[in-house]
Structure 1
């Protein structure tokens, strides 16, 4: 199809954090920019702690020598573990890394330059361990892990349950290569793309040329959840490992066509007696009301 007028391709920026400040404007990200914070996970030793916990999960799932080899080089995990074992490690890490990932998200939110609007933190944690496509035995892929262990087709997060003003933090635990990371379609950003109601993009719509971004271990990629993006089939010889968290700039806003809903929390209330109210602002939205209605209908 012909390119629509007025398309602004995403700008890719690379920034280096200062000692106590991350120079990223989330408004700029929500305008379509892709921002890489070099070494953002090294702050406070977060990357090393994530890799240590991952080593423990690997040791729990694999015999000693195989665990030692995989723990020393997570990029070679697929050489020591079959698909079901990798899926088990990923599930284990959802528990092992949850508190640490929440701490990392709070630290990042506190370290961002002043944004002019309140930030809300998402409880979502994505453990995305994607082995090379050639290492996946036919029929061995566990269902429901698209985008986490196997590729996911092009989509927009707010089609599912995410706020339209959310920002993804895609945090590289290992190297991300061109050929095993995310693909973005910046020319399609906020073009009102249509899908089939089950999150598959309808054909015949302009998406523009794809682009992907390589990351070093410890880098954090900031991107708007409303970017059309897909996880690539891993065509490299390395297992790709990232974790993801989300935050919102301003009060969470949800698409009225979303198939679900997730809350975001006010970080000012976390760790205080008012913590049970941290997600209240997110619940007092049209998206929260629609979720209550969906739950009541399911209960009959």
Structure 2
């Protein structure tokens, strides 16, 4: 089974991306810039969830946590320190920012299963991000903000990277999802396409990382939330990027089973300038 490659030094982006497109999973560990970003994000968690965010579910109702997740996301979007801090991380691991487009940072909150009710806090079903974006050059970034355990983390299914997985992407329309979200009725439309049958958990590679670590993997990797059976809330950072030159050159992971009708270029913006990667277009 595929393992994590842990790196404590920068890796040239061309090599890194090529490895990710082949299905490798790379963890960057020991970078000061990532530790600083983690501290910044933890500060937001404390502001919205209390002094111990991992115990927020003990003092907040499910609806209160759902609302806190929304306000936390809004606060992150408005924080003018966050984008420079994330760019500093990418620069530290040898990313060409002039070629990099991103879709914005997200803190994901997952209370124990007994309290996870609401689209912002429920466990994510198995999916490939590329089922929704149709961008094979998409790279996903994930990091725990507090310690995780195998029962409270992310799972990746590397053995299915080049195997067809039945999914509902053919009936998933990005424009319809956006309309539902803007109408505050997003519960009536799924946020992303998912596998129609759950993969076997024995095939999963459970992510066991420390705060300050940064995982990158292909958007084409099938992944899911591990149902949180602990008594602590999981908090993690995630975002996605696309290298424009790779996209233009047709580089990226294999697209073997995605059928969504649109390519969502407009989700990604140039990290230094904010310019869109492109407009929505049919696949």
Q: TM-score, normalised by structure 1?
A: 0.71
Please tell me whether the aligned partners of residues 251 and 282 of structure 1 are also in contact (alpha carbons under 8 angstroms).
no
Separation in 2, partners of 1:248, 1:224: 10
Mapped to 1, the partners of 2:216 and 2:85 lie a distance apart of: 14
> Relative to 1, partners in 2 of residues 1:44 and 1:173: Cα closer, same or farther, differing over 3 Å?
closer
Change (3 A) 1:251 1:194: same
CA contact (8 A) 2:2 2:158 kept: yes
Q: Does 2:124 match 1:152?
A: yes
Instruction: Pick closer, same or farther for the CA change 1:243–1:164 going to 2, 3 Å.
Output: same
2:135·2:247 contact (CA, 8 Å) conserved in 1?
no
Aligned to 2:143: 171
Residue 245 (str. 1) matches residue 247 (str. 2): no
Q: Following TM superposition, by how much is the alpha carbon of 1:23 offset from its aligned partner in structure 2, in angstroms?
A: 6.7
C-alpha deviation, 1:57, in angstroms: 2.1
**1:294 alignment partner in structure 2:** none
TM-score of the superposed pair, with normalisation by structure 2: 0.75
1:190 shift after superposition: 3.0
* Structure 2 unpaired stretches of 5+: 173-192
4+ residue runs of structure 1 moved beyond 3 angstroms? 21-24, 39-44, 202-208, 252-256
Distance of 2:217 and 2:129 partners within structure 1: 11
- Mind listing any 5+ residue stretches in structure 1 that lack a counterpart? 1-8, 59-69, 292-300
Contact 1:40–1:218 at 8 Å: present in 2 too?
yes
Q: What does the per-residue CA deviation read over 1:30-51, in whole Å, with 9 as the maximum and x for residues that have no partner?
A: 2111112224475472222222
Shift of 1:204: 10
For residues 182 and 39 of structure 1, what CA distance do their matches in structure 2 show?
Answer: 20
Q: 1:233-259 CA deviation, whole Å, 9 max, x = no partner? A: 101121100121111132277977325
Contact preservation (8 Å) 1:158, 1:258 = no
- 1:214: Cα distance to partner? 1.0
Match of 1:38 in 2: 29
SS of 1:230's equivalent?
Answer: strand
- Classify 1:186/1:194 alpha carbon distance in 2 versus 1 (closer, same or farther; 3 Å): same
Computed over aligned residues only, the root mean square deviation of the Cα atoms, in angstroms, reads: 3.1
Matched, 1:14 2:16: no
The alpha-carbon distance between structure 1 residues 50 and 247, as it changes in their structure 2 partners (threshold 3 A), is same
Higher radius of gyration, 1 or 2: 1
Q: Relative contact order: is structure 1 or structure 2 higher (C-alpha 8 Å, sep ≥ 6)?
A: 2
1:85 alignment counterpart: 64
Q: Which secondary structure state, in structure 2, belongs to the residue aligned with residue 84 of structure 1?
A: helix
Task: Indicate whether 1:266 and 2:270 are aligned.
Answer: yes
Q: 1:51 aligns with which of 31, 34, 42?
A: 42
Aligned counterpart, 1:107 = 88
Q: Does residue 182 in structure 1 map to residue 182 in structure 2?
A: no
Match of 2:282 in 1: 290
Q: Which of 109, 112, 115 lines up with 1:129 in the alignment?
A: 109
- CA distance in 2 between partners of 1:45 and 1:111 (Å): 12
